[in-house]
Structure 1
């Protein structure tokens, strides 16, 4: 039945989007300069009357695991870059050196790592709630169809299996993220 397949497809697709959004939101919590650089390069900077990603207006260099240098191609926008980094509240302060910006990443203590894990867990729980809401919506859509009771039950079971699959993916993501945060 096409309508039923559309519901399954929509359910799977919506759950996949939630996981992608979760991974995107949690990505910048990775520790070390190479992960901060990927976040900074996508950060939008106000310049020339519009907003541009930093990678289009500056060269970002990793000096070592705890230091990053940003050299804008136009020195007149250096204060805009500095302000955007401060406003993003990433846990470090940039140093404006006139022709470049230097970022010294602080060493993260064990307590800060545990706080990061708490933040990740909160985002994980929110994602799980969204997944369950999609399950509920999909089951409601199935009930609106004029199908037999047996087909209705098997469709609900299939939606539950999809839900379990994505919840497991979220749990695995959390486990890997915890290892990554505690390892560094």
Structure 2
């Protein structure tokens, strides 16, 4: 078992929250967000490539995404890739650019997305609690090996719990903000 390392525990907990924020960023709200197209891969030059490696994605209007394809010969491949990603978007070709108007979200779809945001937050909190458990086990192991005293172990356990509480609260706040954004459009 590894020795207790507070910095490593904090880094791992922070990583779980950052991952959650990335997941939440990909959830579609009523507003155009370029991260919506992050999962799109396109078959070009005989290989599968992420959209951001063959085009520039922007949000020129609140309810519109624009995809500027660098090589015009890839335009239909990009259109197919976006359709295959099953995002509910219908690309319209405009010269060398694809325009993607965002349809209105139904009330039912908003509730599904809000629930999904809650599930993402729960996964992040589970990851944070797993890091907490690892830290607590490392402290008990260190005490057993007589590397730290019982008082040091208890103080460090309090530190680990404070970190856990801090990052669980961050995860909850991020999810609540996203749920509010989804439901209030």
User: Any stretches of 5+ residues in structure 2 without a counterpart?
Assistant: none
Aligned pair count?
179
1:68 aligns with 2:52: no
Aligned match of 1:142: 139
- Structure 2 length as normaliser, TM-score? 0.83
Q: Structure 1: any 5+ residue segments left out of the alignment?
A: none
Residues 30 and 105, structure 2, Cα contact 8 Å, conserved in 1: no
Matches of 2:43 and 2:153, distance apart in 1 = 53
Is 2:25 aligned against 1:24? Answer: no
- Shift of residue 99 of structure 1? 4.5
CA-to-aligned-CA distance 1:50-107 (integer Å, 9 cap, x gap): 5554344334454532233323222221222122212322232334567443322110
Q: Post-superposition, which runs of at least 4 consecutive aligned residues in structure 1 deviate over 4 A?
A: 41-44, 49-53, 96-99
Are residues 154 and 69 of structure 1, via their aligned partners in 2, closer, same or farther at CA, if it must alter by over 3 Å? closer
User: Does the 8 A contact of 1:33 with 1:62 survive in 2?
Assistant: no
Distance in structure 2 (CA, Å) of the matches to 1:178 and 1:88: 23
1:129 partner SS: helix
Distance of aligned partners of 1:84 and 1:164 in 2 relative to their CA distance in 1, 3 Å threshold: same
Contact 1:121 1:174 in 2 (8 A): yes
CA deviations on 1:110-149 (whole Å, 9 max, x unpaired) are 2211111000001111111111011001111111112221
Q: TM-score scaled to structure 1, two decimals?
A: 0.83
Q: Show the 5 A alignment for 1:1-184.
A: 4=4, 7-35=5-33, 37-40=34-37, 43-50=40-47, 52-96=49-93, 99-145=96-142, 146=146, 147-184=148-185
Return the alpha-carbon distance in structure 2 between the equivalents of residues 68 and 52 of structure 1: 19
In structure 1, distance between residues paired with 2:132 and 2:58? 44
